[in-house]
Amino acid sequence: MTDEQPTPAPDHAALSFGRNALAYDRGRPSYPAEAVAWLVGGDAQVVLELGAGTGKLTAELVAQGHAVHAVEPDAEMLALLEARVPGCSAKQASAEEIPAHDKSVDVVVCATSFHWFDHERALPEIARVLKPGGHVAVVWNERDERIPWVRRLGDVLGRHDLDNTSQAVLVRSELFGFVEEKSFTHWQDINRESIVDLAASRSNIASLADEAREAKLAEVLAFYDDYGRGMDGMQLPYRARCFKAVVVKDDDPPEPEEPVVSDGTDTDMLLIDFR
């Protein structure tokens, strides 16, 4: 892409994360090690993480020994990532214009970010940077609302973050093969402060007007006072829902066609014998 090409205006809700980067970092859950291992699927891979946020997944990728290149469009989120994972290769960029060479990475991974992408632009970019046999992997942390009190919390917080249906674009895409899926259960320790951060970091709450946002945060605190356990806090159950699909690349040159010898019956041209 060139500098002259127009870039679509970013989604208003997506812009809410940067100004709430600290709340996001303090309040959002991380990702279980076994889920990260499944997403990457191998030892010492070259991994490109898109929409890396404050480095919740990045830190675990590095801890598992991968060469990680993190991309995050928001400067404030990226600054926290660099503080969390010092020395990690990190750039401010988007999934729609990936700063990487063709066929340069083994895995592209997206943690609770894939739904924000312009998929018509991002999927070809992801396919471009993947090596033959490489794959894209996406993960969302989903509250386990099979538990009644967690469902009550969802009534307060809202549920748009439970929608991971954007992974269906991978199923429909001709750029990627069969989509595998697996879920991993884990828990987040929550206290009276971090539950406010969890709520404040959500785009649907962060984008509210000041008075409405404060009212919603007060409602979250009232919920905690009913269901929390004081100094012990609460354990909020999650399922890390993971998806991955191998890129489809046609790198082999086409087989040369056999020369066609015409006997004249398949053409309107007049065949003349010059002998």
d(CA 119, CA 71): 16
Give kind and range of the element (H or E) at residue 232.
Answer: none
Q: Considering its fold, how many domains does the chain have in total?
A: 1
State pTM to two decimals: 0.80
Query: Residue-wise pLDDT tens for the chain (275 aa)?
Result: 333 333 333 444 444 455 678 888 888 999 999 999 999 998 889 999 999 999 999 999 999 999 999 999 999 999 999 999 998 999 999 999 999 999 999 999 999 999 889 999 999 999 999 999 999 999 999 999 999 999 999 999 887 666 667 889 999 999 999 999 999 999 999 998 999 989 888 888 888 888 998 999 999 999 998 887 766 678 999 999 999 999 998 764 444 444 333 344 433 333 323 23
In a domain, 142, yes or no: yes
**Residues spanned by the domain of 178:** 13-150+162-188+236-246
- Residue 19 sits in a domain whose CATH number is 3.40.50.150
Say if CB 72 and CB 48 are below 8 A apart: no
3 within domain boundaries: no
Domain assignment present for residue 57? The answer is yes
211 domain residue, yes or no: no
Residue from 110, 139, 130 nearest 49 by CA:
110
Q: Are 179 and 170 in contact (CB under 8 A)?
A: yes
100 found inside a domain? yes
Contact 62, 41 (CB under 8 A): no
Establish if 56 belongs to a structural domain: yes
In a domain, 216, yes or no: no
